[in-house]
Each structure stands twice: as C-alpha cells, then as structure tokens.
A and B are shown apart, each in its own frame.
Chain A
Amino acid sequence: MTQLTPVLSAHWDEKDSFTIEGYKRHGGYDAVGKALEMEPDAVIQLIKDSGLRGRGGAGFPTGMKWGFIPQGDNKEHYLVVNADESEPGTCKDMPLLMANPHVLVEGIIIASYAIRANYAFIYIRGEVAHVVRRLQQAIAEAYAAGHLGKNIHGKGFDLELVLHVGAGAYICGEETALLDSLEGFRGQPRLRPPFPAIAGLYARPTVVNNVESIASVPSIINNGAEWFSGMGTEKSKGFTLYSLSGHVANPGQFEAPLGITLRELLDLAGGIRPGHQLKFWTPGGSSTPMFTADHLDVALDYEGVSAAGSMLGTKALQIFDETTCVLRAVLRWTEFYKHESCGKCTPCREGTWWLVQILRDLEAGKGTEADLDKLLDVVDNIAGRSFCALADGAASPIISSLKYFREEYMQHLNNGGCPFDPIASTKFEAAGSR
C-alpha cells in the first residue's frame, strides 16, 4: 500500500499556513539561502538529477527546460509561472496557492537564480480573486522580508516578481498564448519555432513552468536530488498532487508518490460514494482519454498512464459512478472546448462548433448509428490537425467514450433520448456526501 507523502501540503491544516511566519516555522526560505550559495548551473544540475518533470501535464523534464536557456547572451531572461489552471477537473494549483503561496514564491526565486532571470511573472487566472489576494499578500511579505527585490539575502541577486491576473481564457494556459496575453495581446498560441527558451516573453529567452513544478523546487534544494528521486517510479520521480473529485466519498488533494493507483487513492478517499460503483474516470482532466474500472490498477505515472492509452495530465481524477450518462458528460466537456476555442485555426474553431451540435442531437436521440461513425470521422479530422493541443483535448473524451461506451450512445438513439436520470448523478446522500 503506497503511503501519502505530504510535502507541499504538509502544513495546510495549520491556521497560518499561508503566512510567511507559518511558512518559516517549517524551514521556509531556507532553500533560497542554500541555492544562492550554489552556482546557478549547479542548481540546474540538481534539478536535472532529481528527475523532476513538469507537473502541468506534458511532463517535460524541468531541469532540461532550464538548461535550454542560452547563457551569456546578454539578454534578459524571464521566468513565467503558469497559474492559469483551467482544465476541467483540475484543482491542484489553486488550493496549493491558497494554503501555501510562499512555497511558490521561494521556488520562483531559486528558479530565476538558476536561469539568470531578474524578472519573474506569475500568470494567474482572473476568476480566483481569493487566491490572487493570498498570493499578493505572500509576494508583499517576501519583498518586506528581503527575499525579493534588490540584492536578495545580500548575495547580489535581484529579482522582481510580477503577479499578472488573466481575464479567464482556457487557451491562456497554453504557454505561448499565455505569453501573448502577458504581453497585452489576445491570447492565441504562437507559431513555434522559435520556442520560448529562445524567444519567449518580449522575444527573450523564457522558461514557462507550472505552479506545482516550481513549488517542488525548494524541497529538492533542502533535501537533495536523491531524496526526491527516491520517491516515485523509474522515470517518474518524486511526489505530486492527485486531485480526486466527483462521485467519491472524500474528494480532495492527495499528495503521493508518482505511480500510485486509483485503487489505492480511492481507498485513501473512502471509496466511491456509498452504494455506487465506478463507471469511468479521467486520469488528468477532461483532455485525457477516460478510463474505466478496468484501469483501477494502472500506475498513475507518466509512462503507466500512457501505456494504458491516456495521459497523466494534471492528475485531476474525475470520478463518475454508474448514475452518470457518459454522453451527457462528454457533451458538457465539448461545450467547454467550443466555448474556449481561441478561433485561430480551422479544425478547433469549426470542429468544436460542429461537435457540440452532433452530440446534442445524439443526446436527444436523433440520428442513426451512421452518425456515430460520422462523429468519429469528424473527430479524426480535428485531432492532430490543429495549431495547438486544445482540439486534441476536445477529441479525447469523444474518442475514448465511444471506445468504452458505444453501446450507451446507441441506447440514446434506440431510446429516442437519454436513458439516465440526470438528477441521480447529482444527488448526494446526506451521509455519504462529505
């Protein structure tokens, strides 16, 4: 039985966990002192050695990303933290920033020092006003304590940290769209190359990292690469936040080593809501192909999920029991992608518009089995044809749901409408709900 490994979430239960005092009580900002004693390249090497991979979904090795920044080029370098968490089901960065914003600030200082950046930015989605306030407070405290600003810890390192509040667009979680938005333009993905490491923010070498990736850095500095790589699996090292939501008895954040299974996580979370059975689930948000009860023992690391035909993504485990109509869930997600498509490229813009219409007809029981094949064919013309990954994400739930639940789609057509009672999936028994 895999044990939880609370690091980022270790002290969330303390009343002042979000204050600088609360953070320092457990060794907060010690890692900055240690890192500033090291050569920047040694910090990069340490992160490479730890095996830390990007926690935003793609799993790109963090240290390698830092190493791509050309050094000695006499240009400004920038660190940009992607806090535009908006994938349906994903809810790890916002709780982390609510409860422990200083760990991100400390990680930013260390990462900026490593890549020789004197400006860092946090791009946070605008809807989370309460998180924005906590983060603003944390940044102000860090400035006041001399962790930010000029000559940090007297080591001659300067860093300005800017919190930028976005206007609420899913596409701005895509790193190049985020950079455009940060520069004041409409958030739409940029053509690559050039990659952000060469020409990112304001056409300068830029590292864009997820909140959780950067927040993991101080613990690696404090405890060493071996400590970190001692957790997790062969190629997926360390601990991470798994977010369980949906039809589960005790939903929430579970910080565990990579490679834990849903069966283990469900045990920790008290199981599916009483009296019900698992029907389908997403391993990492709605953009990752869904799994079923057959996948309860898939190791939730980058390789394990990939081998089973999905992606680890953001480790947003949305759990659906047998009361849920899969077509209804997929339609809701598709409506989200249609709403959030930036409009730049044809397959995503027009495709999501069309998919919603097809799925609405299917949900209403209109059509024949040939329409399912048409749906799959249209999806095939969208997935892998678009400018960025948004449309791939839109295709995933449709393809995977038809793979596992084609019969249920047919029931809608044979039934002349949805065979499910939508209320049943939303009604929580008083005892079992929380």
Chain B
Amino acid sequence: MKKLMLGNEALARGLYEGGCSFVSSYPGTPSTEITEFAAKYEDIYAEWAPNEKVAMESAFGACLSGKRSFCGMKHVGLNVAADPLFTISYTGVNAGMVIAVADDPAMHSSQNEQDSRHYAKASKMPMLEPSDSMEALEMTKLAFELSEKFDTPFLLKMCTRIAHSQSVVETGERVEVSKTYEKNPQKYIMMPGNAKLRHPIVEERTRALVEYAETATINRVEKGEDSSIGFITSSTSYQYLKEVFGDKYPVLKLGMIYPMPEKLLKDFANSVDRLVVVEELDGFIEDHCNNLGLNVEGKEIFSLIDELSQNKVAEKFGFETLCGAKLEDNIPNRPPVMCAGCPHRGLFYTLAKNKLTVMGDIGCYTLGAVPPLAAIDTTICMGASISGLHGFNKANGGESDSKTVAVIGDSTFMHSGMTGLVNIAYNSSNSTVIILDNSITGMTGHQQNPTTGFNLKGDPASKIDLEALCKAVGIARVRVVDPYNLAECDKVIKEELAVSEPSVIISRRPCALLKYVKYSKPLVVDPDKCKSCKMCMKIGCPAISMKNGKAVVDNTLCTGCGVCGQLCKFDALKAEED
C-alpha cells in the first residue's frame, strides 16, 4: 500500500518490517520521530534512555541476547555514544543491530555542523545513506540483514532533509528474527588479548564489505546521454543533482557510504570525461576518490558549509536560476523565542537583572541567550554548563563564585549534567547550579524523561527525585523556586550565591505547552496607569507589545503567568476581571 511518510517514520517502518524488537534512543532533532513512530508498533519495545551512550549500550545488549535492535540519535548524540561505538565494531553482533545518526547541515536545530560519515570510517563500522523515505525503509531492513551477514552493527545516516521530508513509500510485511545467546568470551569480552584477535577480523570484514560494495544494488550507476561529465553523489545531494540534470549525465549513486567500492568508482571514472563529486559538508567521497588516484573535482566547486539545493548545484554549472521580486523594505527577522508563559522567562530575567555570568546548556532555554533577556554567556553541548561552571570558578580562585551560575534543563541534567554535579561536590567548587525543571524534554517536542514519572509509551514510570539525587551526591543546599515568582527567585539566587558552599536551585514549573497545564486569565493593561516605561518589555514576551506608546497584551497568546505584572511599578498590568 502506498503511503506518504516522513523519512523518520519510514525508517521506523523499516525497523518493524525488519524484525526489530528493541529500540532505545535519546531524542534529538532531526532524529526524534524515528523512536516515537517505532513505539507505535506493538511488536517493538521502545524506550527513551537518559542519553545516547546508555541507548547504544542497551541496544547492543538486546542484540547480544538475540533480538534485532536499534538506537537513534542526532549527530552530536553520536559523540556521546562514541565510546561503545568503536568497541562494538570489534565485537560484532549476535542478532542484527542498526544505529541511525541524523546530521543537521545548515544547523536548523543544532550547535554544530559535523559530518558524521567520518565516524563510520573512524570506527570501521559500515554506513548506509538513504536519499528518500522509501530508501530509509528499505535500507533499514537491508542493514539488519547485512549486520548479521557481516557480523557488525550498521550505521544508517540520515539528515534533516531526509528525516523531515515526506515521500511515497510502499510498505511490506514483518519478518521475525530471534537468535539464542551463546557465551563467547573471545568475541564479546574486549580486553587486550581478545581485542587483538578481533581487530584483524574487523579489517578482513572491511575488505569483504568493499567486495560487497562493488556489486551491491544500493550503489548504482544511472546512465546518462552525455558522458562529458559524470557525477558521484549520495543522500539529498543526489536529489538536487537529478532535479537539475534529470538523466542528462551519468550518475553513480552511493547507498553505502562506508566502506566505498574501488573498482566500481574507477570504472565509472574511466567512462566519463570529467568526474565531479556532489556532497554536502566535507569531501568524504572526494577524499576516497583521491585516495584511489582518481582525477576528481568536489570541494573546489561546492562549499564545505551549509546545505545544498537545486539552485546551488545549477549555478555551479552555468545555469541561470530564477529569483522572484524582492521588496525594498527591510523585513525584520523572526527568530525563535521563548513561548508566552514559558517558565524559563522569569528565571532568566532574574539572572539578567543580577548581571550574572551564566553557563548555558542545550534545550529551549538556550533561547535565554537572545535579546532582550540576553542572559547566557556560553553554550557548548549537553551537560557542559555544570562542568564548565566548576572549571570557571575553580580557575578563578573564588573570584567568580558569587557572580556565576549554570542553567540546565531536567532532561539535559539526566543526560549528562549529573556527573558534572558529582565533580562539583567531589572537587568542592563553590558553584551554584540551577536546574530548570519544566517536567518534560521540551525542545524536541515533549518527550518523557526520568524526571517526569512517565515512560515513552506514556505509562507511569519511576520518577527521579531531583532534590534527593542532588543531596545524595553531596550537595547539602538544595532549594526549589517557582520561576513565576520573581521576588522569590531573586531572593533565593542571591542567598545561594552568597553562601560559601555548592548549591542547587531547582526552578520548577511545567512547560506552558503541556496539555495538562491550566492557564490563568490573560492580563490586561490599564492605559491610564501605563506610563510607557517599557519595563514589561524587558522579559521578551511575545504576548506584550507597545501600541501608540502604551503596552498591550495579546490575549490569544497570554497565559496569565503574571511575570510582566510583577515588573510594572504602576500597577497597570492586572489579571482580567470577570
């Protein structure tokens, strides 16, 4: 049956049809929906793990036990899971194991533009790369088969435009796969003596995979009418190329990006006058061609930066591209903002007001960095706020202790903030950590996590007690504040920065977009009382704006959180009366 599916949904369908029984992932744009869709199949057990390393190790355990398994993550998540990645490449699998990694060229929702294909080569783990939803489904199934045939986990590389594009797929039936676990210390215990025996097997496996790549149907030559140019490409780049040239020039489309074939590439190179590689980000295919001694063009034509598009490809080959009319007016940007009623707003206002140095982290609250709040000093990766704060304070010999804080969300704290907090306690820095507990993983679209009390399927689950956890690692001072209460936030933050021991402040209030959150009545402005001081504009709430010199509240957006009202010295912002 033909269906329109997101790349991520099609990949999940491939998990189902491919007989996958176990899925463990951590959410991350653009990979999140794979696991959400997988969880809809009754034959698949699916869970959110606290982080990608735990997810990958759990999926490995599942494959070891004899069930086909999967974990999915965004590109930077693979950095977190790199430790198991490199070693399960040595052990290989029992039942098949597939790992999806979703890159984000153009950084639609990411902190860097890394090209995860390098991980395949570095860990010597084979990688497939689909170019639309149908291929995402088929390659997932193929990856399970090849995983068992070649005794290695398989990487499946997605990117934003494949993961978040819907295209037509035809679905099939599920296969059931189950193997028994047998003890095999030489294969599964990676201590030096055994690992030394496994490494040559990995190299031999790669040679066998190169042989496979020479004739695999996923690496295909599409004939063209004009062999003055031949293109080598994969993933979305293939789509942009075909959009521009159709069937004019021969194309070698690589579905397996690691390891790559040798003879196939050489033969293709010999069949065309000019050889051009079209790929996003790094010259990964191009490097391989260079290693084979092929005369190839790639990154001298195409940028190392950003996504490609059909126009970007066309322009490099002398095509004139159209462009519609542009208005003379300056069109103001519309950057993403914290939602009206966002519990982070009051907390960030307090940090900005106290002119604190703020070590930020990854989540919706990274938006605390944008004006007018502009409260964040640094954002690196999951968990870096807490460990960064420790280093900042230690290196400053106490100078910065009372002026610097870390902010981290509940899910990010579970992911990799806890170990940083252990370090603060153990190596005793006088640091103040603020956990922004909005009871959900917000940015990626409301996924449950160990602090919410629910699992991926929405069923009740063990709920981590954040206060008890912080105390247990050795933080004696743990305070809880309501971020809607500005006076309380200000008081508690000042107190905790003043004391000479580490502390944790939990800023607790559920995300305003959660369905169970009840809104209060919208606030209204009394125009007679409004003195146009713009104090209420300092919190950057999308529901407040100035009209004819007076503040106005958009009552379709306002959730009645009341934070703006607390800032008004003239009592002009009040809850609407009946």
Partners in one complex: no
B residues adjacent to A (C-beta < 8 A): none
